[in-house]
Amino acid sequence: MTAAIVGWAHTPFGKLDAESVESLIVRVANEALAHAGIGAEDVDEIVLGHFNGGFSQQDFTASLVLQADPAFRFKPATRVENACATGSAAVRQGIRAIDARNARIVLVVGVEQMTTTPGPEIGRNLLKASYLKEEGDITGGFAGVFGKIAAAYFQRHGDQSDALAMIAAKNHRNGVDNPYAQMRKDLGFDFCRNVSEKNPIVAGPLKRTDCSLVSDGAAAIVLADIETALKMRRAVAFRSTAHVQDFLPLSRRDILKFEGCAKAWHDALDRAGLTLDDLSFVETHDCFTIAELIEYEAMGLTPEGEGARAIKEGWTEKGGRLPVNPSGGLKAKGHPIGATGVSMHALSAMQLCGEAGGIQVPGATLAGIFNMGGAAVANYVSVLERIK
């Protein structure tokens, strides 16, 4: 362990018309510092996760963090991007600065504002996270990419519509008690399972309830080296991390195996000296319900092709063998791209400190986080443990 989370902040996710990328950044930066009990002058480095990809006219956003406090002036600030895993890429960059002893305290911010962009343009922006040379003409944009994955999975392993609806229903049920969630409504299995005017087919076998939400929002965490962290109010240490990057084209891999996800989980658990059974809960990247289903298999919860067992037998429910997405996941919480990975780390730290309110997993001691960019291209896993 070289780094720990010592403070955090999180806006509600959703359609935030009164906010801007700048105001969201400033808000969570100041709130995270206050939560950690430090000032801007104590921060050695700043890392911003912001995908953008056309969502914001203002680019070159790393220095917008300096708008939060004049004491940030002249401190190193860098923006990082790795598609939908941008937030976790920022977290990893912050950890690496501490690992290298170039920083004692790092502020990591993740942000995105998506809802001010017209619908067709949103689709074009998101599709940039695929291999346009081969996948740019897939109908339905990025949802079409995962619709294609779902159709191929159904062909290989049978119709999984019930399992996908159960995953959607679980995550919406969990999201009801998450004050940061964009959709706090228990939709129920029947609504998620059946095609209707309010739940139409979007791409392949995927319905609207199988797709995460277009969102605005921000989250921030304060990282500190272990010696510093142990002197602060709270400390949630990184027991291990892993980053695995895979080929971008779907044609270069078996997309139904999420091999980069599997390797990232293997590497992180091996470095932590743990097994999946040791974890209290997992926050995983359910950009689409088919992604969560395949991730059950990639993390080793079930054998390949048997992911449906985990949801149908209640393993991933809040009171199950391994609760998955007690926050409601991207499905209910929303998915402001640059903020998502930072949000996962903030909410997991809340859980381990017993500060997660209605979404609290009782007695949580170890958290697993999986955040991915593209279709299992950028794969990040963190294992967190409270040490103070």
Task: Report the alpha-carbon angle 163-370-341, nearest 5.
Answer: 115
CB 250 within 8 A of CB 136: no
| Among candidate residues 274, 363, 282, 380, the one with its CA nearest the CA of residue 327 | 282
Catalytic choice (84, 192, 211, 261): 84
DSSP state of 188: H
Q: Name residues whose C-beta falls within 8 Å of residue 282's C-beta, 6 or more positions apart in sequence.
A: 299, 322, 323, 324, 325, 367, 368, 369, 370
Kindly report the three-state secondary structure assignment for every residue of 86-104: HHHHHHHHHHHHHHCCCCC
**Known active-site residue 285:** no
192 to 152, 182, 323, 380: CA distances (angstroms): 21, 17, 20, 29
CB 222 within 8 A of CB 229: no
CB 336 within 8 A of CB 111: yes
Q: Which neighbouring-strand residues pair with 111?
A: 218
DSSP state of 285: -
DSSP per position, 337-388 = HHHHHHHHHHHHHHHHTT--GGG--TT--EEEEEEEETTTTEEEEEEEEE--
**Known active-site residue 172:** no
CB 345 within 8 A of CB 119: no
Tell me how long the chain is: 388
**Residue 29 corresponds to which tokens in the numbers above?**
């930066």
Helix (H, G, I), strand (E, B) or coil at 35: helix
CB 216 within 8 A of CB 358: no
Catalytic choice (243, 335, 345, 353): 335
Tell the residue number behind the tokens 């996760």, with chain if given: 49
The rounded distance, in Å, linking the Cα atoms of 313 and 308 is: 8
AA identity, residue 153:
Y
Report the catalytic residues: 84, 335
